[in-house]
Amino acid sequence: MATWTIDASHSEVQFKVRHLMISTVTGTFGSYEGTVETTNDTDFEGASIKFSADVDSISTGQEQRDGHLKSADFFDAANFPKISFASTSFEKVDDENYTLKGDLTMRGVTKSVTLKAEFGGVMTDFYGQTKAGFEIAGKVNRQDFGLTWSAVTEAGGVVVSDDVKLVLNIQVVKG
């Protein structure tokens, strides 16, 4: 059994959401942690994955918007400070792709999600550490997790899409 931990200095956690249905706003979480437990050093099939992000670390590059996202209108960071994920399966599709299924919890609501994981490979770094990389992507509906704030412009346009794209570029280091 091996435990791998996220190397935050070589990883990024992003989300993308349509604004006014004409452009996309990208946000990141600056504080997060996670582990991957495997029984094999090079094949991650069946791995157990746990991840959490601190809601208060959200950044979209616009302080007022970040404050709104942390408020009770959206994530309600004061009452729900973490977003968490625990895998239920990690199945190998081919040498480069996996299907990741698990329970995502936001704002106290847990839903099953399916994500795609592209395996970048395993490498030993300059310090002798064994590392592996994954790009994980998927889409969730924010309404499913109680993020129900909505507004319509005077012209009838939706301000924020319900669909949120998740994009995580994760490098893990073997413990």
Structural domain boundaries of the chain? 2-174
For the structural domain made of 2-174, what CATH number should be given? 2.40.128.110
Per-residue pLDDT of the chain (175 residues; tens, 9 = 90+): 899 999 999 999 999 988 767 778 999 999 999 999 998 766 899 999 999 999 999 999 999 989 999 999 899 999 999 999 999 999 999 999 999 999 999 999 999 999 999 999 999 999 999 999 999 999 999 889 988 777 555 555 545 788 899 999 999 999 9
Q: What is the pTM of this model?
A: 0.91
93 alpha-carbon distance from chain centroid? 20
